[in-house]
Amino acid sequence: MNLTLKNLNKIAVLGTGNVGQAIAKALSSKNYNVTIGTRDVSQTMAKDKPDNMGNLPISIMLKENTNINLSTFQEAIVDADLIVLAVGGSNVFSVLDLAGPIQAETVVIDITNPLDFSKGFPPSLFTDSTESLAEKIQSKYPHIKLVKSLNTMANSIMLTPDVLKDQGSNFICGNDSGAKEIVKELFVTFGWDKTSIIDLGDLSGSRGMEMILPLWIKIFQSILILK
Ligand SMILES: NC(=O)c1ccc[n+]([C@@H]2O[C@H](COP(=O)([O-])OP(=O)(O)OC[C@H]3O[C@@H](n4cnc5c(N)ncnc54)[C@H](OP(=O)(O)O)[C@@H]3O)[C@@H](O)[C@H]2O)c1
């Protein structure tokens, strides 16, 4: 069945971090059937304290949002109409391996960034300017319809753009125009103005979207320092 906004129901959000939590909460507030994927449900639920960055564990969020499910990456994608990739860039391929086969033609929104923290902060990128992480994912999984978006903004804005006075730019790109249109329509239902959604064309547009991160991090750092 071709995905439309009308038949969109089950959404798998792969990732239990800040991004996965924010996206899952927003989607669930619009009554989508949301399942978050993790490696090990009982280990994840056993974490009940903020991590060393102060991020709240998902167990707390799930207690307040009982309509959101948590399952393994593999179970989460079963019959999913839409998949959202919300894990660190360096873990994307392990997570996709754990998830197992994704149904052909599934629309996958990729929010990840190819950040390399191996030398500490600020991170560098582990990709070069000729092939983005999104392109690497699409090339390994040619049967899915990958749409890159939301990776250039804070998770507190992604599906709640009304918190901004000026929405700025929400970049999007992907090789399948139909998949992109559905994702754009979905964004509009969350308050994104059509004129703020900037379509960069095919997936090669994701190179710039990912390369913006070093600048994004510098700005973020300078705001924190100024505070
Ligand atoms: N933070 C933001 O506001 C923001 C903004 C724009 C884009 N992004 C991008 O969004 C993505 C998600 O960010 P985040 O901060 O929410 O993610 P995160 O906390 O780094 O990712 C958490 C997820 O990664 C999984 N994971 C960790 N190590 C793993 C490993 N070795 N193998 C397999 N899975 C592993 C965890 O699995 P378990 O659940 O099993 O622990 C968890 O589901 C990143 O690519 C980030 O660059 C973030």
- Span 115-155, pLDDT tens digits: 999 999 999 999 999 999 999 999 999 999 999 999 999 99
202 alpha carbon – ligand 1 mean position (Å): 25
Question: What is the 3-state secondary structure of the chain?
Answer: CCCCCCCCCEEEEECCCHHHHHHHHHHHHCCCEEEEEECCHHHHHHCCCCCCCCCCCHHHHHHHCCCCEEEEHHHHCCCCCEEEECCCHHHHHHHHHHHCCCCCCCEEEECCCCEECCCCCCCEECCECCECHHHHHHHHCCCCEEEEECCCCCHHHHCCHHHCCCCCCEEEEECCHHHHHHHHHHHHHCCCCHHHEEECCCCCHHHHHHHCHHHHHHHHHHHHHHC
Q: How confident is the model at residue 227 (pLDDT cuts 50, 70, 90)?
A: low
Ligand 1, CB within 6 Å, residue ranges: 15-20, 38-39, 44, 86-89, 91, 94-95, 111-113, 115, 151, 154-155
Nearest Cα residue to atom 28 of ligand 1: 91
Average pLDDT on 10-25 reads: 98
164 alpha carbon – ligand 1 mean position (Å): 24
The answer on pLDDT for 38 being more than 60 is: yes
Ligand 1: atom nearest CA of 20 is 16
Nearest Cα residue to atom 44 of ligand 1: 88
pLDDT given for residue 226 in this prediction: 61
- Span 140-198, pLDDT tens digits: 999 999 999 999 999 999 999 999 999 999 999 999 999 999 999 999 999 999 999 99
pLDDT given for residue 53 in this prediction: 83
Average pLDDT on 27-42 reads: 98
Mutate to test the pocket of ligand 1, among 19, 40, 156 (most ligand atoms within 8 A of CB): 19
- Span 49-91, pLDDT tens digits: 998 888 899 999 999 999 999 999 999 999 999 999 999 999 9
Ligand 1: atom nearest CA of 21 is 16
Percent of the chain residues topping a pLDDT of 70: 98
Nearest Cα residue to atom 48 of ligand 1: 19
Q: Does the global pTM surpass 0.85? A: yes
1 alpha carbon – ligand 1 mean position (Å): 30
Nearest Cα residue to atom 24 of ligand 1: 87
